[in-house]
Amino acid sequence: MELRPSTRRPVLRGRALLAERQVGPKFARQARMAAAGLPVPRFFCVSAAVFRDVLEPIRADVDALLATVDAADPEGLEHKAARLRELVLGVPVPPTVERELYKAFDAVFGADAVVSVRSSVVGGGEQADEDSAHDAFAGISDSFLYVTRDQLIERVRQCWASAFGAQALLYRAARGSTQHGFAVAVGVQRMEFGRRSFVLFTCDPLTGARDRVLAAGLGIGEGVVQEKVPVDHYFISRRGDTIRSVPAHKTQALREIPGQLALGPRAVPVPQDLRDLPALSEEQIREVVATGDRIEELFGCPQDVEGTFTEDGRLHILQARPVVLELDRQRLWSNANITESYPDVTTALTYSFAQRFYREDFHDFYRLLGVPRKTLDRHEGELRGMIGLLRGRVYYSLSTWYTLHGMSRTFPLWRGSFERMMGMSPSVTHVTPTPPLTDPTLLPATARALAGLAWRMLTHGRAVREFESWWERVLQAHREAAETADPLQLTQLMRSLWKEAGDRWGITLVNDILLQMHETMAMKMLERWVPGADPGLHSDLLCGGEENRSVVILMSIVEIAEHMRATPDVLEALDVKPADEVWAEIDRGLHGEGLAHRIRRHAELHGDRGLQELKLEVAVPRDQPSQLLRMAADYARSGLTRALLRRRETEARRAGERRLAEQLAARPLRRRALRAVLAGQRRHINMRENTRYRRSELFGFGRQVYRRLGADLVTRGLLDRAEDVVHLTEEEILGTYDGTAVTDDLRGLAAVRKAEFDSRGGELPMDFVTMGPVRAALPERPRVTADAGVLHGLGSSGGVVRGTARVVVDPNDFGVPGDDMILIARETDPGWLFLMLSARGIVVERGTLLSHTAISGRKFGIPTIVALPHATSRIPDGALVEMDGAAGTVTILEGDGA
């Protein structure tokens, strides 16, 4: 048989192996890995064109048989498969191909070598390629191990015939693929005599979570891949890079029998002393994972990697294919950041109110970034689904966030800082890369988006000032109208306020983007220009400057504390009486008008700031001024003053400036540039804190409206208690008054939801991934016990302190802080400031460098660590601990715990 011009090179080597249409994705990927310096054994390929030429004389017979394949007839399918294989095996291999094969074998491996021979289907038309990103084809084509030179031609022929095996025919039928038009490439690769083999998934193959899953067994890779030997499993988290092992009792290994290679691999017994040892050492696991990360980076998506370690301890990568994920069924979840606003379980009213807030806020934000109205309309479902309520707790639906952020061509500019600010675990980042800013097909849209963002940056300060003025007018008008409104008018006022907010609130998120960009720039400048600086320098340099609304509120409470310190009878009364009773006395003027005036004034100006202020079921100082007494009393007893707080902050800033001046003494221009960026970061932090309080006022207005409507629903006989209104959604309440509700049984709804709220349990992990229907795929939170030794979180405010760990779940139930308290909590919100300022150090499970906890710690010079997983479980209450707020470490001092 003469070869066609297209197959004059039947055997492909070197760079020719990158031709995917000739060798298939499987071998083209191996060629790319080898070219990138990865440890891939040497190989060559018989091109797919040879397969087509060889089958040409029998093509009519093959096509006739394929046309009659019936997947519903197993017996007939087996018969046709046998006939097809017989036809293929009976076709002679062209002499030219034989010569080239032997020549390549001798040149690449040597005449005495042992190789593996593997096939790879190359699609044609609608036919998918084997090991493509959309179709794994795993195990359908035949592979042959321990092949010697004299067996080479026959094994190549058998690889061609395997494309017509019963399994292959059935697989293509089941996938709806055509049985025609494909070809088969054959790879010939040096055989590595593996002793410890593995399959690595660089993401969880079940959910797509970014944690790695590694299966390993003894012997060659076939034993692991085909589940012929017991297999250890290792789960390698990207958060902290920890390894969880699930070992197997290894009774067998799959390997060659010396002197009997022709028999192929055989299961052999494992010596007794090795059966319960891990298949891979930690060093080998780390090597495999690092190599897997390189392969994933090379191909740009999660990979399923097969490899082996030989007797000499060398790693060999035998194959890599994409992990086939149905990303439309995947959801990424995290409450690392949002739990600061909605800790613990949340009522239906709070969740529905927050859901509406996210929709309005981000709709306006994307509009400001230049996303067209039509595009926003197409994503209305995602805008309403940015958060979820899972087992009573609020979670970000991060998959939705990625989809929505991807509408803006500016997203590549701030994607990294967005992920940091959200406190996202590397385990739940999105696997789909964002098209780069330089993508030529998107350059016009990118140019428009960047120009719009530049304009926003130039005009941002004025825009925020206008937002503040506008909000004060709108809120005041709605509060005044609410004083005399009937229930229907209250409903209309609530809808009106949402409409107003939806038209203006996006500027607060633009500020977040600018803050993230300044933070990223400052961190990179410090890393590059001041590499020897201590980790706390950045935090110290952010201290000082203009007081934001959060600081003003804190100073107001400290002022009340200073007045209480001068009125000792109030502190004495609080020692023996409930705070509500003492407030009633103060309100009547029994302890002087000055203190009563200050508390009333604070409640009027700042009364929407309190513990869990975004949860509508929780009272705040505007509703319950007595809350301020406990906070102020703690400050009064501790001797805290406004002057002391300002001095702390000023000293931290001066110390930071001195260290910066020393580090950049010979680089004045760099110092000036860095200070300018830090000034911008401080400015945006202040804007963020100011606008966050505006959000609290919006929620506060909602709290007032729904409490009044709850009381009215009791009067109308629709609820048993006014406070049960929090177990209804916002639309269920408003719809009852304006005729849009779908049920009149509010009492029944509230009863069901209250029972569910009261019995919530089984808290979920902080970050997780679901595949398919969400509630059917929720994971369990791992049980964690107290640890000894050093724990690691994210350092966010420098300083090394030693003290007594005090685990606080509910600050309302906490007693008097000790002088050496290290506060340990799941998260904090602005209402925790009174307790935070009484602490020598702060450690929380959640949060980011831009969370309230981190900002407050930096602002007041308190060593602070955020994002220390399971801190409240791992650090025993009363233990003596040492924390390093810059390094992010907590050391439990053994033997010294209380």
Structure tokens at 761: 């349990």
Q: Is 458 exposed, middle or buried (CB count within 10 Å of its CB: 0-12, 13-18, 19+)?
A: exposed
What tens digit of pLDDT does each residue of 761-802 get?
Answer: 778 888 898 888 898 888 865 554 455 578 988 777 878 999
Residue 737 carries which side chain, given as an amino acid letter?
Y
Q: Which fold has domain 789-892?
A: Glucose Oxidase; domain 1 (3.50.30)
Cα dist from 261 to 148, 220, 805, whole Å: 9, 13, 64
Sign for the CA dihedral angle at 683, 685, 687, 693 comes to negative
pLDDT, position 176: 59
Distance between terminal CA atoms of the chain?
88
DSSP letters for 259-289: T-GGG--EEEEPPGGGTTS-SS-HHHHHHHH
pLDDT, position 6: 45
What tens digit of pLDDT does each residue of 344-362 get?
Answer: 999 999 999 999 999 999 9
pLDDT, position 896: 47
Q: Which fold has domain 193-330?
A: D-amino Acid Aminotransferase; Chain A, domain 1 (3.30.470)
pLDDT, position 139: 44
How far apart CA 411 and CA 392 sit, in angstroms, is 31
On whether the CB atoms of residues 631 and 557 are closer than 8 A, the answer is yes
On whether the CB atoms of residues 190 and 43 are closer than 8 A, the answer is yes
The domain segmentation of the chain, as residue ranges, is: 1-191, 193-330, 331-374+394-530+664-758, 549-652, 789-892
Q: Which residues of the chain have pLDDT under 70?
A: 1-8, 124-140, 174-178, 227, 780-788, 830-831, 847-852, 894-898
Q: Is 341 exposed, middle or buried (CB count within 10 Å of its CB: 0-12, 13-18, 19+)?
A: buried
574 closest CA partner among 588, 589, 562, 591: 591
- The pTM for the full model equals 0.80
DSSP letters for 474-496: HHHHHHHHHHT--HHHHHHHHHH
How far apart CA 540 and CA 33 sit, in angstroms, is 46
pLDDT, position 777: 84
pLDDT, position 895: 47
Which CATH number does the domain 1-191 belong to among 3.30.1490.20, 2.120.10.30, 3.90.650.10, 3.60.10.10?
3.30.1490.20
